[in-house]
Structure 1
Amino acid sequence: MERGVGEGQGEESGGAVGELRRSWQSWAEGHGEYQRRNPFSSEGGLPGRPALAPRGDPAYGRPPEGSRTEQRGKDAHSHVGREVEELCLVIRSTGRRGDDGRVSVTFGQLFETYVTISNKVVGILLRARKHGLVRFEGEMLWQGKDDDVVITLLE
Structure 2
Amino acid sequence: MAHSRQGQLASKVSLWQQRADEHKEKQLVNPFSDWEGASHRSKLDKDDPNYGKPVEGSFTEMRGRQAGNHISAEIVELCRVISELGQRQPDNTYTITFGRLFDAYTTISNKLVGMLMRARKQHLVQFEGEMLFQRRDDDVAIRCLRVPEMD
TM-score (norm 2): 0.70
Q: Which has the higher contact order (CA 8 A, sep 6+)?
A: 2
| Other-structure match for 1:41 | 34
Measured in 1, the distance between the counterparts of 2:37 and 2:130 equals 40
Measured in 2, the distance between the counterparts of 1:94 and 1:147 equals 15
1:57 is the counterpart of 2:48: yes
The alpha carbon displacement at 1:149 in A equals 0.4
| Other-structure match for 2:133 | 142
Measured in 2, the distance between the counterparts of 1:64 and 1:54 equals 15
- Over the residues paired in the alignment, what is the CA RMSD in angstroms? 2.6
**1:40-59 Cα shifts (integer Å, max 9, x gaps):** 537486xxxx8675221010
Q: What residue identity is the alignment partner of 1:142?
A: F
Query: Residues 67 and 131 from structure 1, CA distance in 2 versus in 1: closer, same or farther, beyond 3 angstroms?
Result: same
1:153 is the counterpart of 2:148: no
Moved over 3 A (4+): 35-38, 40-45, 50-53
The structure with more radius of gyration: 1
User: How many equivalent residue pairs?
Assistant: 118
| Other-structure match for 1:112 | 103
Structure 2: tracts of 5 or more residues without a match: 1-23, 147-151
TM-score (norm 1): 0.68
Query: Residues 99 and 63 from structure 1, CA distance in 2 versus in 1: closer, same or farther, beyond 3 angstroms?
Result: same
1:94 is the counterpart of 2:91: no
Matched-pair identity in %: 50
Measured in 2, the distance between the counterparts of 1:108 and 1:154 equals 19
| Other-structure match for 1:74 | 65
Query: Residues 154 and 52 from structure 1, CA distance in 2 versus in 1: closer, same or farther, beyond 3 angstroms?
Result: farther
